[in-house]
Amino acid sequence: METVYFDNNATTRVADEVFEEIKPYFCELYGNPSSMHTFGGQVGIKMREARGKVAALLGCDPSEIIFTGCGTESDNTAINGTLAAYPDKRKVITSRVEHPAVLQVCRELEHKGYTVVEIGVDKKGRLDLTELEEQIDEDTALVTIMYSNNETGVIFPIDKIAELTEDKGVVFHTDAVQTVGKIPLNLSRSNIDLLSISGHKLHAPKGIGVLYVRKGTRLSPYMVGGHQEGGKRAGTENVPGIIGLGKACELAAENIEAENNKVRKLRDKLENAILQRCPDSMLNGDKENRLPNTSNISFEYVEGEAILLMLDKFGICASSGSACTSGSLEPSHVLRAMGVPFTAAHGSIRFSLSRYNTEQEVDYTIEKIPDIINRLRELSPFVTKK
Ligand code: PLP
């Protein structure tokens, strides 16, 4: 077996159909879409079509789509652009389990004198909605809560939160970087004001993102210096990225249900077999309200990094919730927020699948993992030998 890629929440393979679609935009159709000539103008037309495809997947109007450079830029723009548009309001509400593209921006705001409230989650990673509702007050400019979590796949009740913020007249942003393309969304039936997407999470290239801005939402531009994207995001557009994202959204819209079923079946087979065959292993996150492709499993008494290295030897790519910071292994902030015990949080592995995974890959991984865990436990100082 060559590479078994179970790290699709980190990034995805570009779809063949997407790759074919973007090829002409490097050496043939390389005009600037803002140019007056027909050569550039034809690119502008294709870009409009791509915008329409993204909007169709989201159920919104093409004029509500702003192309950005990545999910991180979309998140930064949503937060900083909202605060700049509401200079008298000084409070932001987020959650403890956000991606750093949101959490770090919010934490920096604290240094600038903003009040930042991080809403907690329970042991299954579910958001405390009562706390959220209590925290929204007159001073609140923005609520920014992710749609689904990148580590556990847990899906938050975003439409409910959007109703709440709508009632209270507060702007609501959601980081849907891990959600779009994995489960169906319909923004025409939602009160979400701002929503972030990243192309490379749904089989489009890296370096393209989207910020959905609902009509009427006040937002100051973050990047200035050009008229592109209706003056909301300056800079010559990443044309191949935009065309590729349009195609990826079209593919997702056509196939989302069949692919969900396929991916969920494979994920469940992998997850159930691991949990059955490895003693002292447990699922992290809400089993029910979860992305169909993600499984986060803790193996007690072993380090996630050691498991990853052993998996890597067999060509299996996954990722660990821990991050090696300044020489000490810090367990993931998401698992800590969920109260996952220290020994389990350190040994957590995220498997994230895509439509390109096969049953053979799942079977191969199921065969390798119990041995890997047993071997590591034999070396672990936390396991008492009988
Ligand atoms: N938000 C979430 C939930 C993510 O998982 C990621 C990437 O892993 C990002 C934001 C950042 O997206 P990008 O890599 O496009 O900047």
Q: What is the number of the ligand 1 atom nearest to the C-alpha of 70?
A: 15
Which residues, 6+ apart, have CB-to-CB distance to 25 below 8 Å? Answer: 43, 46, 239, 240, 243
Ligand 1 centre distance from Cα of residue 322 (Å): 17
Paired with 4 in beta bridges are 316
The encoded tokens of residue 126 equal 């579910």
Paired with 304 in beta bridges are none
Mutate to test the pocket of ligand 1, among 97, 105, 150, 151 (most ligand atoms within 8 A of CB): 150
Instruction: Please report the DSSP string for 226-249 in residue order.
Output: S-TGGGTS-S---HHHHHHHHHHH
Q: Which residue has the tokens 């065969």?
A: 367
pLDDT value, residue 88? 97
CA distance 159 to 295: 24
pLDDT value, residue 322? 59
Q: Which pTM does this prediction carry? A: 0.96
pLDDT value, residue 380? 75
pLDDT value, residue 325? 45
Ligand 1 centre distance from Cα of residue 150 (Å): 8
CB 343 within 8 A of CB 300: yes
Ligand 1 site residues (CB inside 6 A) read 70-72, 75, 99, 101, 146, 150, 175, 177-178, 198, 209
Ligand 1 centre distance from Cα of residue 105 (Å): 13
CA distance 230 to 225: 12
Q: What is the CA radius of gyration of the chain?
A: 22
CB 349 within 8 A of CB 362: no
Q: What is the number of the ligand 1 atom nearest to the C-alpha of 199?
A: 15
CA distance 376 to 378: 5
- Residues noted as catalytic: 324
Residue nearest to atom 14 of ligand 1 (CA): 71
Q: Which of 132, 196, 121 is nearest to 168 (CA)?
A: 132
pLDDT value, residue 323? 54
Q: What is the DSSP letter of 148?
A: B
Q: Which phi-psi region, left, alpha or beta, contains residue 225 (left: φ > 0; alpha: ψ -120 to 50)?
A: left
Strands 91-95 and 115-119: parallel
Ligand 1 centre distance from Cα of residue 181 (Å): 14
Ligand 1 centre distance from Cα of residue 101 (Å): 7
Which residues, 6+ apart, have CB-to-CB distance to 296 below 8 Å? Answer: 151, 152, 153, 283, 284, 285, 321, 335, 348, 349, 350, 351
CB 347 within 8 A of CB 307: yes
Q: What is the number of the ligand 1 atom nearest to the C-alpha of 149?
A: 3
Q: What is the number of the ligand 1 atom nearest to the C-alpha of 75?
A: 10
Q: Which of 286, 315, 310 is nearest to 299 (CA)?
A: 310
Give the torsion through C-alpha atoms of 148, 68, 199, 161, to 10 deg: 20
Each residue's pLDDT, cut to its tens digit, for the chain (386 residues) gives 789 999 999 999 999 999 999 999 999 999 999 999 999 999 999 999 999 999 999 999 999 999 999 999 999 999 999 999 999 999 999 999 999 999 999 999 999 999 999 999 999 999 999 999 999 999 999 999 999 999 999 999 999 999 999 999 999 999 999 999 999 999 999 999 999 999 999 999 999 999 999 999 999 998 999 999 999 999 999 999 999 999 999 999 999 999 999 999 999 999 999 999 999 999 999 999 999 999 999 999 999 999 999 999 999 999 997 555 445 567 899 999 999 998 899 999 999 999 999 999 999 999 999 999 999 999 877 675 54
Mutate to test the pocket of ligand 1, among 9, 77, 201 (most ligand atoms within 8 A of CB): 201
Residue nearest to atom 7 of ligand 1 (CA): 10
Q: What is the number of the ligand 1 atom nearest to the C-alpha of 11?
A: 8
Mutate to test the pocket of ligand 1, among 99, 105, 195, 333 (most ligand atoms within 8 A of CB): 99
Amino acid at 102: V
First and final C-alpha spacing in the chain: 36
CB 146 within 8 A of CB 174: yes
Ligand 1 centre distance from Cα of residue 376 (Å): 31
